[in-house]
């Protein structure tokens, strides 16, 4: 009788989760207790701001992971709704605390900064990282075009209150201002715009999750998460923990913005449009670059352009309506001249680079160059 031979296929050694594309944000977890301790000790505002900004990143990553795990067990419709609802929750939470502190111009700067960061910084880094080893990368043209168009139309609606203010003989807010109270007509106009944008957002959900879901759900066959899938109970618990942690870090971050920006010689406008906008969604930004480097440009486009569109269609109008119950007075959707010019230029460029359904590393480099120029301009404001 012959002996039984056991043959084992060579196993591929996986890297520790903390060293993977999705695991690195959790290396920043120690900054969460550091920020809390520094805030309790009334330490230097710059140290408090830096620690809380870094502490936001792992909490946002945990919120994103918990949302994805819940979405995977809820079916494509509910799952997609969960993803788009919680996708920009960290930025929304930070902005709500800023509203409560009366930092209306910081809130509007962070909104514009999130849109610029997604369509210039994230899209640029994704195209550059994915195109370095390839002649070109291709993505679903119809989905990218639909999302870019939604973003363009939403931006037109967002800037109409500013145009109304200029035509009526008023002036735009100064970028260095903390908050500006506008007339009741502008506040009413802002509410109307917010309602229209939310209605458009709801229609967009039906479009992307039901009638044209096949365009917005590119498949990716390899497992990106380490370990076993989470249960629904664990996902809900982690989502609650992440939400509380994001809220705590956001409160500390917002309370230190004014003093920290003055101490390091930066305007609150620059901090809001660059720093706060980047740290609020750094984990999701990295995921977009991570997928692009693996030649999954469809997912990167969905994250970058889709997240920017969600900021304009959902986060901005929600903040306008919330300002009627949070903060010293309602916030009107009147952006300053730098914000209006930057956002229109960026969106025109985004429509241009997504209209062919393919990208190269040089296009990504150009997007990053534009973001750098805008950042330099904002620095000298």
φ, ψ for residue 242 (rounded to 5)? -65, -40
Would you call 5 helix, strand, or coil by DSSP?
Answer: coil
Packed helices 89-100 and 104-116: angle between N→C axes, nearest 10 degrees:
160
Give dist(CA 62, CA 246) in Å, integer: 10
The pairing of beta strand 137-138 with beta strand 358-359: antiparallel
Q: Beta partners for 84?
A: none
Assigned token pair, 36: 């809390």
pLDDT score for 83:
63
Please tell me the pTM assigned to this model.
Answer: 0.83
Dump pLDDT digits (tens) for 3-35.
Answer: 444 444 444 455 666 666 667 788 889 999 999
pLDDT score for 20:
62
Determine which of 66-70, 262-266, 372-376 has the lowest per-residue pLDDT on average: 66-70
Q: Beta partners for 137?
A: 359
Rg (CA), the chain: 21
DSSP characters over 224-287: -S-SSPPPHHHHHHHHHHHHHHHHHHHHHHHHHHHHHHHHTT--HHHIIIIIIHHHTTHHHHHH
Q: Which residues contact 131 (CB under 8 A, 6 or more apart)?
A: 137, 359, 360, 361, 362, 363, 364
pLDDT score for 12:
46
pLDDT of residue 191 exceeding 70: yes
pLDDT score for 21:
60
pLDDT score for 285:
78
Alpha-carbon distance values, 355 to 76, 274, 308, 359 (Å): 27, 27, 17, 10
Mean pLDDT of 168-185: 88
Nearest one of 4, 281, 353, 254 to 118, comparing CA atoms: 281
Dump pLDDT digits (tens) for 228-282.
Answer: 778 888 888 888 888 888 888 888 988 888 888 888 888 888 988 998 888 877 7
Residues 303 and 42: beta-carbon distance below 8 Å: no
Mean pLDDT of 343-358: 84
Residues 300 and 288: beta-carbon distance below 8 Å: yes
Q: What single DSSP character describes residue 43? A: -
Residue given tokens 């550059």 in the structure block: 128
Residue given tokens 């679903």 in the structure block: 140
Residue given tokens 């809820």 in the structure block: 74
Nearest one of 117, 214, 145 to 358, comparing CA atoms: 145
Give dist(CA 344, CA 153) in Å, integer: 11
pLDDT score for 358:
85
pLDDT of residue 1 exceeding 50: no
């Amino acid at each position: 009788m012959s002996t039984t031979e056991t043959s084992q296929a060579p196993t591929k050694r996986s890297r520790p989760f903390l060293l993977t594309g999705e695991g690195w944000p959790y290396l920043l977890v120690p900054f969460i207790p550091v920020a809390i301790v520094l805030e309790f000790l009334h330490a230097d505002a710059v140290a408090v701001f830096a620690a809380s900004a870094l502490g936001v990143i792992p909490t946002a990553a945990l919120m994103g992971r918990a949302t994805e795990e819940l979405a995977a067990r809820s079916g494509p419709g509910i799952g997609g709704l969960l993803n788009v609802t919680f996708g920009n929750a960290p930025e929304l939470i930070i902005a709500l605390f800023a509203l409560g502190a009366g930092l209306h111009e910081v809130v509007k700067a962070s909104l514009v900064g999130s849109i610029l960061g997604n369509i210039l910084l994230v899209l640029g880094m994704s195209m550059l990282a994915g195109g370095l080893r390839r002649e070109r990368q291709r993505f679903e043209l119809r989905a990218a075009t639909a999302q870019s168009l939604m973003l363009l139309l939403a931006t037109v609606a967002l800037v109409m209150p500013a145009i109304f203010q200029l035509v009526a003989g008023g002036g735009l807010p100064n970028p260095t201002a903390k908050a500006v109270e506008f007339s009741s007509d502008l506040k009413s106009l802002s509410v109307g715009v917010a309602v229209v944008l939310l209605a458009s957002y709801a229609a967009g959900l039906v479009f992307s999750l039901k009638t044209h879901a096949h365009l917005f759900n590119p498949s990716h066959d390899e497992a990106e998460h380490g370990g076993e899938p989470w249960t629904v109970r664990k996902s809900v618990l982690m989502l609650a923990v992440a939400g509380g942690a994001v809220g705590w870090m956001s409160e500390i971050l917002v309370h230190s913005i004014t003093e920290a920006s003055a101490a390091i010689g930066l305007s609150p406008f620059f901090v809001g449009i660059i720093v706060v906008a980047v740290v609020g969604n750094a984990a999701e930004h990295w995921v977009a670059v991570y997928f692009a480097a693996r030649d999954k440009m469809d997912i990167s486009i969905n994250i970058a352009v889709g997240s920017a569109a969600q900021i304009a269609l959902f986060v901005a109008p929600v903040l306008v309506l919330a300002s009627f119950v949070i903060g010293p007075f309602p916030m009107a959707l009147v952006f300053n001249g730098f914000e209006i010019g930057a956002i229109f230029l960026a969106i025109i460029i985004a429509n241009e680079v997504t209209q062919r359904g393919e990208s190269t590393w040089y296009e990504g480099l150009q997007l990053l160059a534009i973001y750098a120029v805008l950042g330099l301009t904002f620095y000298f404001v």
